[in-house]
Amino acid sequence: MKIDVTQPIKEYDGRDVVDADKNPVPVRTAMLNGLAYHPSGPDPDNPGQQLHMTTESREQRFAISSKLWSKSKVDLSIKEKAFIIDWVNAAYPDNPLICGRVKQVLEGEGQSVPENEDSSAEASNDTTSPSKPSSPRLRHSG
């Protein structure tokens, strides 16, 4: 299954996540940021040493990121998808929206937007004008 990595990341309400210049942020950006992230701090397996990216990990990240940049729709193996998901989760530990959207896209679920019960009730009571989102825009860092 080909994955469109240029599709914009969606907010919880279905609007596009935008950058500081108000441009939609493609899911590819979050994936590449995840692949570029590297752990820091002390290495628990080697006391006195700092964590570092292994040669194998660096090569795998380069191969996947090159694939993500090669086309707007890409085929990824199950292993590549899991690798991206793991590193996006590490790169965005305080941003469940980004982590969840990347996982949804990679697992072929699409970016689901739950139906807003308040908007549905308002829409059924008011037949003269379309309902507008009642919640303020959420801002996400990352």
Q: How confident is the model over 11-67, as pLDDT tens digits?
A: 999 999 999 999 999 999 999 999 999 888 888 888 888 888 889 999 999 999 999
pLDDT confidence of residue 118: 60
Q: How confident is the model over 29-45, as pLDDT tens digits?
A: 999 999 999 888 888 88
Euclidean distance between CA atoms 31 and 142, whole angstroms = 11
pLDDT at 98 over 70: yes
Is the Cα torsion angle 99, 78, 35, 7 positive or negative in sign? negative
Enclosing domain of residue 21: 2-125
pLDDT band at residue 77, thresholds of 50, 70 and 90? very high
Inside any domain, residue 92:
yes
Inside any domain, residue 132:
no
pLDDT average, residue stretch 64-71: 97
Please give the tally of structural domains in the chain.
Answer: 1
Structure tokens at 61: 């990240």
Euclidean distance between CA atoms 112 and 81, whole angstroms = 19
Mean pLDDT score of the chain, rounded to an integer? 84
pLDDT at 125 over 50: no
What is the phi/psi pair of residue 72, to 5°?
Answer: -80, -25
DSSP string spanning the chain? -EEETTSBPBPTTSPBPB-TTSPBPBHHHHHHHHHH----SB-TTSTT-B----HHHHHHHHHHHHHHHH-SEEE--HHHHHHHHHHHHHH-TT-HHHHHHHHHHHTT--------HHHHHHHHH--SS-----SPPP----
Euclidean distance between CA atoms 60 and 72, whole angstroms = 20
| Residues 32 and 134 sit within 8 Å (Cβ to Cβ) | no
pLDDT band at residue 116, thresholds of 50, 70 and 90? low
Report the share of the chain in percent with pLDDT over 90: 65
Inside any domain, residue 135:
no
Residues near 29 by Cβ (< 8 Å), separated by ≥ 6? 9
pLDDT band at residue 86, thresholds of 50, 70 and 90? very high
